[in-house]
Amino acid sequence: MINFSNINATLMPNFKGGDGITAAQMFVDDKNKIMRITLEPGCSIGMHCHEDSCEIIYVLEGVGTAVLDGNEEKVEAGECHYCPKGHEHCFINKGKKDLVFFAVVPQQ
């Protein structure tokens, strides 16, 4: 079991070239990086390419915008965003509340 309430958040300013601070509670082993991430309003994770693996993001709270290969899509609680291996994306909180999501990145 992974209990994120027992994992301290790592604060990452301007993560991947984004705006503001990304707060991530991370569990990492040799197979996966599993993160519970919070983006405050106006914060973002910058555009980046997943050259070696995919990323799966499941939104827990809030409303955000994902840009995948230049195509913008609205994401909200209960929805899943998928960035396949070899593609690029970013994640933006344009809302008025925190955007909270789980992100899973398989490790090679």
Ranges of each domain in the chain = 9-106
- Residue 14 is classified by DSSP as T
pLDDT score for 108: 74
**What values do phi and psi take at 3, rounded to 5?**
-110, 100
pLDDT score for 14: 97
Closest CA to 103 of 14, 25, 8: 25
Residue type, 70: G
Mean pLDDT of successive 10-residue stretches along the chain, which has 108 residues: 95 97 96 97 97 96 96 96 97 96 93
pLDDT score for 106: 94
pLDDT score for 105: 96
Sheet arrangement for strand 10-13: 10-13, 21-28, 32-39, 99-106, 55-61, 80-83
Class of the 9-106 domain?
mainly beta
pTM metric for this prediction: 0.93
